Structure formats: C-alpha cells, structure tokens
Chain A
Amino acid sequence: MSTMQEIKVGEKVAGKNKPKTPIYLDYQATTPCDPRVVQAMLPYFTEHFGNPHSRNHAYGWEAEQAVERARAQIASLIGADEKEIIFTSGATESNNLALKGVAHFFKGKKNHIITAVTEHKCVLDSCRHLELEGFEVTYLPVQQNGLIDLQQLKAAIRPDTVIVSIMAVNNEIGVIQPLAEIGKICRAAKVYFHTDAAQAAGKIPLDVEAMNIDLLSISGHKLYGPKGVGALYVRRKPRVRLEALIHGGGQERGMRSGTLPTPLCVGLGEACAIAEREMGAEAERLKALRDRFYNKIREQLPEVYLNGDLEHRIPGNLNLSFAYVEGEGLMMGIKDLAVSSGSACTSASLEPSYVLRALGVEEELAHTSLRIGLGRFTTEQDVDYAVEHIVQSVKRLREMSPLWEMAQEGIDLKSIQWAEH
C-alpha cells in the first residue's frame, strides 16, 4: 500500500514538475569539469599529495613537477613563458591582483586607470576600491555592439595612466574586444594592458606577444577545469611590477603566497592543454549549433533582438531579447532549460543588466533578455529541444502580455504615461 502511494506521488511530480535534470545552457556561468581533467587531477588528491613547495623529499618533488607541467600548459595556451604564470584562486583574484597590485606599486607616481563600463563586477569593484584610495578611474563607454571605441581609448590615456583593463570577452553578451589594437595603443603609450580573459581563454586564440598583453586573467571553471583555481599572466619582458595582495611564504615569485593546490593546478593545466588542442574544431561545432539556434528562433518568432555584435562574438553565446515577454516569467516557463536572464527580477539589485543598459538596450527590452550559453557537451538535440520550448513559451506569454496586445493594435508603447513604481 505504502509503495503504491509512493509511486503515485512520484508520478504526480513527474507529470507536473518534470524534475528531470534541465538541459544546461549556461556555459558562461560555469562549465562542467571535462572528465579527462578530473582523471588527471585524481592522483594528486591521494597518491601524490605532497606539498609542491617541499624541497627535501620525493613527495614534494612529484607535486612540484606536476604543478610546473600545468604552468607550462597554461602558458602554452596564451603564447607565454611558464615563468610568467601565477596561480590564483580564480579570475576574481587574478583581476584584483592585476589592478590593485599594479596600482599600489605605482601609487604616487601614476594614479590613473582606464577600464570599460561592461567589465565584470570584480574589475569594476576593484576600480571603485582604488578610487576610494585616491586613484582616478576612467570608465569607457561601449558602442551599441558592445565594443569599445579605440579613439576614445586613445583620448583617455594620460601621462599618469598606469594600466588599461579591458576584458577579452564579455560574460553576458560574448563580444570580443579588439585586443591586438588595444595592446598596440597601450604599448605605444607605455601603459600596461591587462585583460580579463576568463571567458576568452580556451574559446578564442590568445597570444600575449602578438596582442601586446601585459597581464591576463584566467579562470579554471570557465574552460572545463575545476572551480577554485585560476591564473594571472604577468609579463617579464618588459617586466610588469606589482605589489602582492596575499603575503606569506613568498610562493609564486612573491606575488601570491600560499601553498599551491596541486590537484587544482593540474586540472587547470590539463583543461588548457585540451582547449589548445581542440579549440578550433570545438569553435566550429559550436558556431554551427549557435547559428542553428538563432536561425530557428528567428524563423518562428518575430521581434527577437540579438544583444551585442554577432561577428565579434565567441561561438558559444547568444543573448536575445524576446520583446513583450519578461525574462524571469519566461525562465519559469522553460524550467527544463538552465539559462540566465538580464531581467531585473533575477538579480539581487532588482536592476536590469548593466551590460545591456550600457549598450543602449532600453530597460523594457533588457527585462526580456535571455543569455544562452552553448558549450562542449551541448548537442544538436539539446538545441532543437531548447528552441521548441522557448518558442512555445514565448508564444504563450505573448498571448498573455498586455504589451504584445497593444503593439499588435498599433499602439506606440512610448506614447503611454506609465506609472513608474
């Protein structure tokens, strides 16, 4: 009897709430560890558990060897020398170290920093903190396609500018900034160029030499590596000077003290090695999936807008506004899909995405946006299923939307006096 009841309850749940695992389409939030990465990491938890900084026995040597191999793998992905790679806890720490580290070193001599309004919060918030310490920060606007204007960058550089920090790829809209051009401008002006490459490393080719990059941040979990590890590339020639944020045993050439987490370092290294080998084929496959997704949506739904440039964009990202349908309301209708939204309702601040607002996307459209992130384990079936569900849900919610109704009647929504609340 009780068994039958249990089954009934289960059936009801299965029919109504569909508790099966949603399809993961949020690869800009995080990526799963590649199983090959996990395999490479495992021996370093148990067997080869030594402290890589122990110089006097085999346990330490083994671990050190593994860490140095990983360092070389990371360096190889971005065309750097292994001595230029500093392990950190993730891109947030790398960005903090790059900005605060360089600023603190030059404090009193050079007090000006340039960044962009669409940067990740950890860059913007580090800059805000430096402003409190007396630094001046210029926040460059972006154009409608999400890219900075190089002329504005040139004009913003001053004799006391110490560093320019412009992200390689934006986490919400996936647009790729003109890194080589930015690097050239910075080098000519003798200003350090830092780029937050958390969303770029392993997705697009990066070359710190060709692009004149002086500092570059990497995150493990954005490229199928483990969470809790990242790296900062710090150029040696010409040498980038920075002050450490974390003090202790002087590891990582004194720039970042603390015992290295060997398994995490190995994981990040392996993830970089896989990315280096497979990036080309993966990008091609993802671009085909992305285009399939976008085209199918556009064929079936009117008034869908792409946020950010299509050409200068990583293959695994789409950011779409579905006019007249609120983003969180839409996400509730597609709970079989794990996506994210620029809608205010999904953010703690109840403000719509500052990145979309910076592109000049109007608030009403920013509220209707979905970020769709495709990645290594996304299949064509996933894409087709997702499209079908999004189309179905958007149609249903538009039928329920007073704004859609008014738009169909030809009423200009801007002519109405809305009561802002």
Chain B
Amino acid sequence: MAYSEKLIEHYENPRNVGTLDKSDTSVGTGLVGAPACGDVMKLQIKVGADGRIEDAKFKTFGCGSAIASSSLATEWVKGKTLDEAEQIKNTEIAQHLALPPVKIHCSVLAEDAIKAAIHDYRAKHEKQSGQAAE
C-alpha cells in the first residue's frame, strides 16, 4: 500500500510518544480500541490553569496509519481548549494524512481517543467539584 509522505513522516518521527501521570487531576486519559481488533490507542492530555491543553502524549498499538493518526491528534490538541479539541473531526485527520479508504477507521479511533481523554478529564473534575460541594 502506498502511503503519503506526511503519514510516513509521522510514523518514522512520531510526536509526543509517552505517558503522563494518570492520577494527576490535570490529566485526562483515553484508551480506545481493542487488541483483538489490531489497534489500541492511549491518548492523554494535560490541561493547564487557563483551561487549555498544555501537553499531550500517546501510545499506540496498531498499523502505521493508526500510529500516524494518534501522533497527529496529539499535535493538534495542544494549545486548544477542551471545547475546541472536541471539534477535531476524524475526516480532517484522514484528509491531512491522505489515509486510504481501508484505514479511515484509524482516524475514527484517533477522534474517539481525544473525546475519551476529554471525557476522563471532565469526569475527574465533576467528581472533585461534587466532593467539594458536599
């Protein structure tokens, strides 16, 4: 399969590979996919005091397209507010990396990973504010 230069570049030099402290309240973690399906993405965001995503990290088990999609996702969420990051669409990721049709699901997974990380961050904070109110 012929891949775009951008995709290969992300595969060969992935951005933001790594792990943030899951227990940190400023960190949201999303884990999506399944080993049996051949791809699993873990995407983490660290939200600053200004409400913007100041750092993002990922680890991915999957094909080159999955690795590139998650690498790109971490790059794009940085500096965005949660509401802005939530707006990132899989089609934009697919278009940017010129994913072949059979690899579109990799970009869907990347979008899901962003949403899952945001959801996790918000859930942590709701719980916290809920506890504070009690």
Contacts and interface: CB of A to CB of B under 8 A. Distances in A.
Q: Do A and B bind each other?
A: yes
Contact of B60 (A344, A364, A402, A421): A402
A131 interface: no
User: Chain B binding site: helix, strand, loop or mixed by DSSP?
Assistant: mixed
Interface stretch (B35-43, B46-54, B119-127): B35-43
Contacts of A350: 102
A299 B14 CA distance: 28
Which one of A329, A333, A367, A401 has the highest number of Cβ atoms from chain B below 10 Å of its Cβ?
A329
B109 to A, nearest CB: 7
Interface in A337-370: 343-345, 350, 352, 362-364, 367
Nearest to A367: B38
B64 interface: yes
B86 to A, nearest CB: 19
B1 to A, nearest CB: 9
Given A326-B39, A400-B17, A405-B19, A332 B63 contact: yes
A399 interface: yes
Interface of B: 3, 8, 11, 14, 17, 19, 31-42, 59-64, 66-67, 102, 105, 109
A155 interface: no
- Most B Cβ at <10 Å: residue of A333, A350, A418: A418
B59 A343 contact: no
Interface of A: 17, 324-326, 328-329, 332-333, 343-345, 350, 352, 362-364, 367, 399-405, 413, 418-421
Given A418-B34, A421-B37, 12 more contacts: A329-B67, A332-B63, A345-B63, A350-B102, A367-B35, A367-B38, A400-B17, A400-B59, A400-B60, A401-B59, A403-B40, A420-B37
A401 B33 contact: no
Nearest to B71: A400
15 contacts: A17-B8, A326-B38, A326-B66, A329-B67, A332-B8, A332-B63, A333-B11, A345-B38, A352-B38, A402-B59, A404-B61, A405-B59, A418-B37, A420-B37, A421-B105
B22 to A, nearest CB: 11
Contact of A325 (B19, B36, B37, B61): B61
Contact of B33 (A324, A328, A418): A418
A345 B38 CA distance: 8
A328 B109 CA distance: 17
Given A329-B67, A400-B67, A419-B32, A344 B38 contact: yes
A332 B38 contact: no
> Quick one: which of A326, A402, A403 has the most chain B CB within 10 A?
A402
B66 to A, nearest CB: 7
B38 A343 contact: yes
A329 B36 contact: no
Given A402-B41, A402-B42, A326 B63 contact: yes
Contacts of A325: 61
Give the one of B11, B41, B59 with max A CB within 10 A. B59
B35 A364 contact: yes
Contacts of A362: 36
Contacts of A402: 31, 40-42, 59-61
A266 to B, nearest CB: 37
A419 B19 CA distance: 21
B61 A401 contact: yes
A333 B62 CA distance: 12
Given A326-B62, A329-B63, A421 B109 contact: yes
A343 B63 contact: yes
B64 A329 contact: yes
Nearest to B116: A419
A418 B109 CA distance: 13
B35 A329 contact: no
A381 to B, nearest CB: 25
A398 to B, nearest CB: 9
Contacts of A17: 8
Contact of A324 (B11, B61, B63, B67): B61
